[in-house]
Amino acid sequence: MKRRVRTQHLGGARAIVLHRPHPTVQALERQLTAIGLVVEQCWPDLPPSALGADFIFFDADLGHDGQFPWPAGEPPMPIIALIGSEAPGRVEWALNAGADAQMLKPVGGSGAYAALLIARSAFDARQALGAEIAALRQRLDQRQTVVRAIAALMGLGKTEDEAYAQLRRMAMAWRISFEEAAERLVAGARPLPPAKGQDHD
């Protein structure tokens, strides 16, 4: 399955460069400004406004977890590692921090545009995967809740088919989904009177 890569609309985006003052920062800022981004440099901490940034470039050589105001590996925007030392430990830290792309230092006159596109594509894919996993977990939880609700009704002397039928009638009476009815039943909510035309159990 092909992913659509967004390659436009970088102009006006906001990028923060978390790096000590250095010629690398100056070279990167020139590239980003030419692309049309608004650039802010800071060190050693991110400002509160960083949560509203579109991209963050960070120093993978001297960076540490405490610089990011979010759980390790869960950045809310694409982040790009600026790597000077390819020591395995520093590369591993950058990956664990959630780097979506990287640029090698010293930064020259090119490379930022490709890094931005790769980072945004990787970030979007990660977000989509996270949402898919969350949806699958929710469906699994709902199925387990339905099983528990059916088991509770069967514990009252009903057959499995009768339990399913009663749970379905409850959902219709409460005007909620089958899964929501199961959650309500498992949570111990007192059944509401059946809707008009529904059988009493």
Domains of the chain by start residue, with CATH: 14-110 (3.40.50.2300), 132-186 (1.10.10.10)
The pLDDT-based confidence of 146 (bands split at 50, 70, 90) is confident
pLDDT for residue 192 is more than 50: no
pTM score, two decimals? 0.69
Please report, rounded to a whole number, the percentage of residues in the chain having pLDDT higher than 70: 90
pLDDT for residue 90 is more than 90: yes
Q: How many CA atoms lie within 13 A of 147 on its CB side?
A: 6
pLDDT for residue 199 is more than 80: no
- For residue 53, CA distances in Å to 47, 58, 68, 80, 137 come to 10, 13, 13, 13, 30
Phi, psi of 196 (to 5 degrees): -55, 130
pLDDT at 190: 47
Q: What is the pLDDT of residues 153-163, one digit of tens each?
A: 888 888 888 88
pLDDT for residue 175 is more than 50: yes
* Alpha carbons 48 and 70: distance in angstroms, whole number: 11
pLDDT for residue 71 is more than 80: yes
Chain mean pLDDT for the chain: 86
Task: Considering only residues 188 and 77, tell me which one the structure prediction assigns the higher pLDDT.
Answer: 77
The pLDDT-based confidence of 1 (bands split at 50, 70, 90) is very low
The pLDDT-based confidence of 64 (bands split at 50, 70, 90) is very high
